[in-house]
Structure 1
Amino acid sequence: MGNLQNLQTLDLRGNILVVLPNTMSRLRNLKHLLFPNFYFFTSWGIGWSRVTFGNDALTKVETLKCIRAVDLIRYDAVIPLRNIRDLGIRGFTSAKEVCLVLQSLNSHSQLGHLRSLWMELEKGEFPKLELLSHCHVLTRLRLVGALSQENLSLLPERLSKLELRLCLLNQDKLSVMEKLPNLRILRINKDRVPQKWVFSVNGFPKLEILTLVELPRLEEWEVEEGAMRNLKRLEIRNIPRLRMIPEGLKYVTSLGELNICQMEWAFKNRVRVNEQGIVGEDFYKQTYSGKYTPQAYAVGGVVLTSFIKAVSNVELNPVGTLLRAIF
């Protein structure tokens, strides 16, 4: 591999496991390097080893995804990334390692050029992320690991896409997050959120896509009138204790797609029309003043498109027919 001196893009995603030669560190002209979730380096085809990138090995790289922290940090020093724009690092084992990477990027004046950032912390809590305030063009951020309320308040206002996983969210943290003025896409995944949380009036003013996945403690979700007023798509997946969709969802007139997956049958039955044409208790929450249904439904993981105006039970029956096809 070391002979491919003109190679600029190496995309290894989609592979379950990749074994790479140590000579990969000689590829000096790489601009886009995307690792798979699991990869190893080998020396002369015998045994596993750790790749040794020289200080100039990644200087031209603009996209670096899914690299392990251990391959980027050596003896408390970070390999320089002087042209990085899109960065994804997994396997941080301490807050100190996170600080080392952010400080290195700041010292090379690269924080101001980052467009997307993904950091996965395996142990402990993220350190203070005040350096993220230097990320003036950062629009996409993914954080995996415990996150303080203060860190949420330090997120750049330009963020349009945010994914949080295992961040230990609570109502106070949510109240900070919903003030992000330009956030359009939010995904909350595998988090121990409280039993009840509230999306307050005027919260998430530009949010268009909300995905909630595997929130085992959430039982009640309240949406105040005026919250998420631009929401177009909502996905609720595998939240076993959630009893019903929020009452306030009926005020979200922009909602065009509701996707319900891996939920209890009692929950699903509340939002659909059954085979006898009986409307579920929460079906009206998908409408505004009982006049319009969302344009797309998904129950059980399949999205169905509908342009039905639900103004009477007769007009609701066709929706029930569509939903029956996937139950």
Structure 2
Amino acid sequence: MPIPSSADLINLQTLQGVTSRESWEVEGIPKLSNVKNLTIRGVFQWNTIATLLGTLKHLNSLHIEGDDAPLTIIDMRSFPFYHGLQTLVLTDYQQPSHNHKKIALDVGMFPINLTRLSFGNTHLREDPMPVLEKLENLRYLALSDAIFQQMSCHNRVFSRLERLFLRRLQKLEEWKIEKGAMPMLDTLGISGCPLLRVPEELQHLTVLQELYWTFPSRDDKINEAFIKEVRNICKHVPSIEFDLD
């Protein structure tokens, strides 16, 4: 990706499509201190990326995609933008293996003031909600490409969450939703979750306006029963849409 001239870098506020193999990395880093929106793809050299992030004081939106293990252990507490970050997208495409250490989330991985979080990690084997529910300012949350089997949302958590998307959670079977959880949820989208049983607790999401769900099967009879179950539980939802996965 071509980078603006040295004189323009100091005023740059949005930088997208960067990869960790760019030749400009080292000499350009000191001049990027005013960037507010940053997208990095193809993370192969985590040290360089960490050096860049360590210079950014005004960052409020960060999007990192890669297929390398450092994405599983990212810790932002040492970065100067930590308390001001509002949007974070972290996606790790590396395929899980039997000898790869499973990751454990820590609330410090995610700045407390986040309003939008999209998190995808193929090594995540445990329910992330006990950590994510501590992010009290979240209004948008998307979880994808993880391999945990159960998920729980407790009473009085995600009090400001308005939109939730669950994508490609291939092993998710059960989702428990306590009454009082996600009281502001307006939109729910579920796709690529073929094993997920329809939670009866969806009826507790009383302000839900839109529900999007892909079919869990190619069998028409199974899908017919699935649609009937969803509509029966979600009678209060004005808009329910189904689609092929």
- TM-score of the alignment, normalized to the shorter chain, above 0.5: yes
Could you give the per-residue CA deviations for residues 83-117 of structure 1, whole angstroms, max 9, x where no partner exists? 21111111111442332222232xxxx2xx21211
**2:78 equivalent in structure 1:** 131
Task: Tell me if 1:225 matches 2:176.
Answer: no
Looking at structure 1, the residues matched to 77 and 221 of structure 2 have their Cα atoms a distance apart, in angstroms, of: 44
1:270 to 1:102, Cα distance in 2 relative to 1, 3 A: same
**1:295 equivalent in structure 2:** 238
Q: TM-score, normalised by structure 2?
A: 0.82
The structure with more radius of gyration: 1
**2:128 equivalent in structure 1:** 173
Which letter maps to 1:117? L
Could you give the per-residue CA deviations for residues 13-62 of structure 1, whole angstroms, max 9, x where no partner exists? xxxxxxx7xxx54x43xxxxxxxxxxxxxxxxxxxxxxxxx5x5522211
Which letter maps to 1:284? N
Conservation of the 8 A alpha-carbon contact between 2:127 and 2:150: no
Conservation of the 8 A alpha-carbon contact between 2:160 and 2:183: yes
The runs of 5 or more residues in structure 1 that have no matched partner are 1-19, 29-53, 273-279, 288-292, 302-327
Which letter maps to 2:82? C
Looking at structure 2, the residues matched to 70 and 267 of structure 1 have their Cα atoms a distance apart, in angstroms, of: 48
Looking at structure 2, the residues matched to 157 and 261 of structure 1 have their Cα atoms a distance apart, in angstroms, of: 32
**1:260 equivalent in structure 2:** 213
SS of the equivalent of 2:152 reads strand
Q: TM-score, normalised by structure 1?
A: 0.63
Looking at structure 2, the residues matched to 266 and 77 of structure 1 have their Cα atoms a distance apart, in angstroms, of: 59
Looking at structure 1, the residues matched to 113 and 213 of structure 2 have their Cα atoms a distance apart, in angstroms, of: 30
Looking at structure 2, the residues matched to 129 and 103 of structure 1 have their Cα atoms a distance apart, in angstroms, of: 9
**1:121 equivalent in structure 2:** 66
Conservation of the 8 A alpha-carbon contact between 2:34 and 2:59: no
Identity of aligned residues (%): 26
**1:311 equivalent in structure 2:** none
Looking at structure 2, the residues matched to 156 and 267 of structure 1 have their Cα atoms a distance apart, in angstroms, of: 42
1:58 to 1:76, Cα distance in 2 relative to 1, 3 A: closer
Match of 2:48 among 57, 76, 97: 97
Which letter maps to 2:73? F
**2:203 equivalent in structure 1:** 250
Cα RMSD (Å): 2.6
Could you give the per-residue CA deviations for residues 208-243 of structure 1, whole angstroms, max 9, x where no partner exists? 11111111111111111111111111111121111x
Q: Alignment length, in residue pairs?
A: 231
